[in-house]
């Protein structure tokens, strides 16, 4: 049995790691295609190195562009790759332009497509990620849902028969990296002279938060006014937009820093007092590490983090400041994201259904 994984952006490399390991353990032939959507070493190469992911067999090198140009370039380039490799399954991950392009290319070539992280919904039709995941779910043959809530969304859209709940593969990686990091020094703390437990970690990159200068200014100003250091791990998009709009990312308590490699990020979050983010993955990682999270968005796909009290949505300067200052939530041993063995289940499902 042969599986092709198509990945292109940072969170997909994290999800790919446990899948690559589970495929190798099961003796499944697994080819990795990197679309090149993310090309900066700190957004791409370090994830392959640190998480022990085999080098991609195919690199499309598409780079940046408008949504149409980027999605179209990947779609056009994949036809030849899929025809050459003739996989039993094309596995696509999450909600990026690489996900949608790969699903479309495969479905048009009549190749079976499995969508990992199926069924997540923000119900915000203005988000590019929402278009990508809804369209990918409806194109795919097998929907690998991380949670029961995600499976219910798929059922509501008439997709129950194609759905199986496998758990969340990011939880697989996070648990392994967390255990390996426990007790290790945190380079960021030494580098920036921070106090353990005395700083927050922030990431902001979504189009909804970066493209409108007023919104970006509001977010930056509220983080700068927090009463303890806030380290902004700045994605290229936020740096570019801030420069364009004359917004300073180093102001007041706000300190900008390059993105971190995954084990360093986990270490930095573990020792922090809180996370402020608009990332999907980081909200869930904060919850799994039991660090309070403030999410700068009007909705979240990971509703369990909010229901359990570990995540708060905040959309104005006051809301952000109040959310960051809130007392620590009540302890919980809930495991809505599975047991850390989701990737094994994914590979089992693909093998079982390819016979």
Residues annotated as part of the active site = 205
- Taking the least distance from each CB to ligand UD1, the nearer of 40 and 83 is 40
Q: Among candidates 23, 7, 177, which has minimal Cα distance to 88? A: 23
Binders in 212-251 for ligand UD1, by CB under 6 A: 235-237, 240
Residue 39, interface with ligand UD1 (CB under 6 A)?
yes
Phi-psi region for residue 316, left (φ > 0), alpha (ψ -120 to 50) or beta?
beta
Chosen residue from 25, 64, 244, 326 binding ligand UD1 by CB under 6 A = 64
User: What is the rounded distance in angstroms from the CA atom of residue 4 to the CA atom of residue 72?
Assistant: 19
Binders in 95-114 for ligand UD1, by CB under 6 A: 95-97
- Taking the least distance from each CB to ligand UD1, the nearer of 71 and 189 is 71
Residue 128, interface with ligand UD1 (CB under 6 A)?
yes
Residue 36, interface with ligand UD1 (CB under 6 A)?
no
Query: CA-CA distances (angstroms) from residue 144 to 160, 342, 348?
Result: 11, 10, 12
Residue 130, interface with ligand UD1 (CB under 6 A)?
no
Locate 140 and state its tokens: 């795919």
Locate 213 and state its tokens: 């200068």
Task: Supply the minimum distance, in Å, between the C-beta of residue 35 and ligand UD1.
Answer: 10
- Taking the least distance from each CB to ligand UD1, the nearer of 66 and 193 is 66
Residue 205, interface with ligand UD1 (CB under 6 A)?
yes
Residue 38, interface with ligand UD1 (CB under 6 A)?
yes
| Total of residues contacting ligand UD1 (CB under 6 A) | 19
Interacting stretch for ligand UD1, rule CB under 6 A, among 76-84, 93-101, 214-222, 333-341? 93-101
Residue 10, interface with ligand UD1 (CB under 6 A)?
yes
Residue 192, interface with ligand UD1 (CB under 6 A)?
no
Task: Supply the minimum distance, in Å, between the C-beta of residue 206 and ligand UD1.
Answer: 7
Residue 37, interface with ligand UD1 (CB under 6 A)?
yes
Q: Interface residues with ligand UD1 (CB under 6 A)? A: 9-11, 37-40, 43, 64, 95-97, 128-129, 205, 235-237, 240
């Amino acid at each position: 049995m042969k599986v092709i994984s198509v990945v292109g952006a940072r969170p997909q490399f994290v999800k790919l790691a446990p899948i690559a390991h589970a495929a190798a353990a099961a003796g499944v032939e697994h080819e990795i295609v990197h679309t090149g959507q993310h090309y900066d070493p700190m957004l791409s190469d370090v994830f392959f190195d640190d998480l022990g992911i085999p080098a991609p067999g195919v690199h499309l090198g598409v780079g940046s562009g408008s949504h149409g140009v980027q999605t179209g370039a990947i779609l056009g380039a994949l036809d030849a790759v899929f025809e050459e490799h003739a996989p039993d399954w094309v596995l696509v991950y999450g909600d990026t332009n690489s996900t949608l392009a790969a699903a479309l290319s495969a479905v048009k070539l009549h190749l079976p497509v499995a969508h990992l992280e199926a069924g997540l919904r923000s119900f915000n039709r203005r988000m590019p990620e929402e278009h990508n995941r809804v369209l990918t779910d409806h194109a795919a043959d097998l929907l690998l849902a991380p949670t029961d809530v995600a499976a219910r969304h798929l059922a509501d859209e008439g997709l129950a028969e194609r759905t199986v709940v496998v758990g969340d593969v990011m939880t697989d990686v996070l648990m392994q990296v967390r255990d390996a990091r426990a007790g290790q020094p945190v380079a960021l703390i030494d580098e920036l002279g921070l106090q353990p437990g005395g700083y927050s970690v922030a990431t902001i990159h979504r189009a909804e938060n970066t493209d409108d200068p007023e919104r970006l200014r509001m977010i930056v100003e509220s983080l700068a006014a927090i009463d303890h250091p806030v380290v902004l791990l700045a994605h290229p998009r936020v740096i570019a937009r801030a420069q364009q709009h004359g917004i300073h990312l180093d102001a007041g308590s706000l300190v900008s820093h390059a993105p971190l490699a995954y084990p360093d990020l986990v270490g930095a979050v573990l020792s922090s007092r809180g996370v402020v983010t608009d990332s999907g993955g980081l909200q869930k990682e904060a919850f799994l590490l039991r660090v309070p999270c403030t999410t700068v968005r009007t909705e979240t796909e990971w509703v369990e983090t909010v229901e359990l009290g570990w995540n708060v949505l905040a959309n104005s300067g006051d809301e952000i400041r109040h959310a960051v200052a809130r007392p620590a939530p009540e302890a919980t041993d809930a495991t809505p994201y599975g047991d850390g063995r989701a990737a094994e289940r994914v590979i089992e499902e693909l093998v079982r259904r390819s016979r």
